[in-house]
Amino acid sequence: MSLLLGCIADDFTGGTDLAGTLSAEGMRTVQSIGVPDGPVADTDAVVIALKSRTAPPAVAVAESLAALRWLRAQGCQQYFFKYCSTFDSTPAGNIGPVAEALLAELGADFTIACPAYPENGRTVYRGHLFVGDELLSESGMKDHPLTPMTDARLLRVLQPQTRLRVGLITHEVVATGSAAIAAACRRAAAAGTGIAIVDAISTADLRAIGNACTGMLLVTGGSGVALGLPDNFRRSGELPATRDISSFPRIDGSAAIIAGSCSTATRAQVAQWLRHHPGFRVDVLRLLEGADISGEALAWATTQHGQPVLIYATAAPEDIRAVQAAAGTQAVGAQIEQTLADIAAGLVNAGTCRLVIAGGETSGAVVKRLGLRALSIGPVIEPGVPWTCSIDAQPLALALKSGNFGSRDFFEKALASLP
Ligand code: ADP
């Protein structure tokens, strides 16, 4: 049977978040690391995870189109472009160009953009994105090392990124349900809007929006708006009422946490872990001077006698700004990512097979270095973060956590929740 839903995620933690959502809603889902090199059997949805969020727009567009072409060849009925619930993009902006290119390739002229994820505190009201009680631009996202977000008004963020006209479907419409939302989408498309930002402040809103997207060729958003999509396929009889989602294998072995995120939630999680357990801090200044930090980290890990280890580059905004001023934002980010990926590969070679990775770009770098091709989805640890298992001769258990997700004791909770 052909695939129902083909998804393209602009980073790896976003990919697992979406795959976890679809799986929890009864779709068999596989996450592919990059475009698969062969067919993927026995699945209803494939999420192709790219590391395109911080790439130059032309590269992000080319990679996303390559992913779309593979998905189309599998005969998907609907396509989903997943970006962050904080709408992160570089200043040049990848969300607009990628959405526009995907629409053109599909021969479609309208989609929605809905990053809201109320379960994780992201809501959109009158086109303004909130993180908890704060506007996006006043939240920790203003200090992100690679994609600082300084404007909460999504129309103003998205419009300069695309030639398509950007519109808004407000909460008054959303609150009246999926039929009204679908009608508003038809009206917006007829009036020449190419991308409509859609307000959502609750999970019920997201389900209504998802349901309104029945038959919409391309949907774009955070993973939240995908909540309602599996139901559409159930209603049309293409997805069974219940699905036996395969069980997660037991993977024995030692555990490591690799934190490359500097987001508020990860900083709290690292601090919490260090209250009760040791950790190895990547000294970024020494790294930039050429010190063999990965060698030092691996040597330190061998002294921990198989106990879970934390290796982190996580730092406060003032420390990040200082190293970025010295060596350049992209260069510093990339060098830290590569170092953390080296360390992860060394740990796996030494027998680690349970990995928690904090940070989207960081997860991308690690998973690429480990040469993993695909992940199956397991139990959800906390909203947006499931355990995954590499589809591999020597399977690894991986929890890829978006930097800003998870409660303070996420690391302990993740390790304790593995079968
Ligand atoms: P998040 O999911 O929080 O956005 P990412 O891993 O996507 O986390 O991005 C964090 C970026 O910050 C990575 O490129 C990482 O290498 C970089 N980084 C991590 N620690 C530091 C640090 N101490 N100084 C500067 N940049 C850092």
Q: What would the pLDDT profile of 87-97 be if each residue is shown by its tens digit? A: 988 888 999 99
Q: Cβ(362) to ligand 1 under 6 A?
A: yes
| Spatial separation of the C-alpha atoms in residues 268 and 264, rounded to whole Å | 6
Q: Is the CB of 360 under 6 A from ligand 1?
A: yes
- For the CA of 282, the nearest atom of ligand 1: 23
* DSSP assignment letter at 153: B
pLDDT at 387: 95
- pLDDT at position 400 is 96
Q: Compute the distance between CA of residue 58 and CA of residue 242 in angstroms, rounded to an integer.
A: 41
- Ligand 1 binding pocket includes 402 (Cβ within 6 Å): yes
CB-based burial, 59-98: b 16+ in 10 Å, e otherwise: ebbebbbebbebbeeeebebbbbbbbbbbbbbeebbbbbb
Please give the CATH architecture assigned to the domain spanning 254-416: 3-Layer(aba) Sandwich (3.40)
Spatial CA neighbour of 160 closest among 97, 254, 227: 97
Residues of the chain with CATH 3.40.980.20: 254-416
367 lines ligand 1 (CB under 6 A): no
CATH class for the region spanning 5-235: alpha beta
Q: Is 340 in the pocket of ligand 1 (CB under 6 A)?
A: no
Write out residues in the chain with pLDDT < 50, as ranges.
Answer: none
Mutate to test the pocket of ligand 1, among 267, 336, 405, 410 (most ligand atoms within 8 A of CB): 336
CA 285, CA 87: separation in Å to the nearest integer?
30
Is residue 143 within 8 A of residue 320, CB to CB? The reply is: yes
Q: How far does the centroid of ligand 1 lie from the alpha carbon of residue 220, in Å? A: 25
336 CB within 6 A, ligand 1? yes
pLDDT of residue 246: 63
Q: How far apart are the first and last CA of the chain?
A: 31
Provide CATH 3.40.50.10840 ranges for the chain: 5-235
Residue 10 Cβ inside 6 Å of ligand 1? The answer reads no
- Output the pLDDT for position 1: 56
Ligand 1 in reach of 313 Cβ (< 6 A) = yes
Q: Is the CB of 358 under 6 A from ligand 1?
A: no
Ligand 1 atom nearest to CA at 54: 7
Contact 348 CB / ligand 1 (< 6 Å)? no
Residue 394: phi and psi, rounded to 5, are -115, 85
CA nearest 50: which of 95, 16, 93, 9? Answer: 9
Cα angle: 396, vertex 358, 60; to 5 degrees: 90
The 10s digit of each residue's pLDDT in 173-220 is: 999 999 999 999 999 999 999 999 999 999 999 999 999 999 999 999
Q: Which atom of ligand 1 is least distant from the CA of 144?
A: 4
Rg (CA), the chain: 20
* Structure confidence at residue 236 (pLDDT): 94
**Helix, strand, or coil here: 312?**
strand
pLDDT of residue 245: 65
CA of 325 to the centre of ligand 1 (A): 15
Task: Tell me, in angstroms, the distance from the centre of ligand 1 to residue 335's CA.
Answer: 10
Mutation test of ligand 1: which of 361, 367, 385 has the most ligand atoms closer than 8 Å to its C-beta?
Answer: 361
Q: Closest residue (by CA) to atom 19 of ligand 1?
A: 260
Cβ atoms of 359 and 13 within 8 Å: the answer is yes
Measured from the CB, is residue 145 less than 6 Å from ligand 1?
A: yes
**Angle, nearest 10°, between helix axes 329-349 and 360-369?**
50
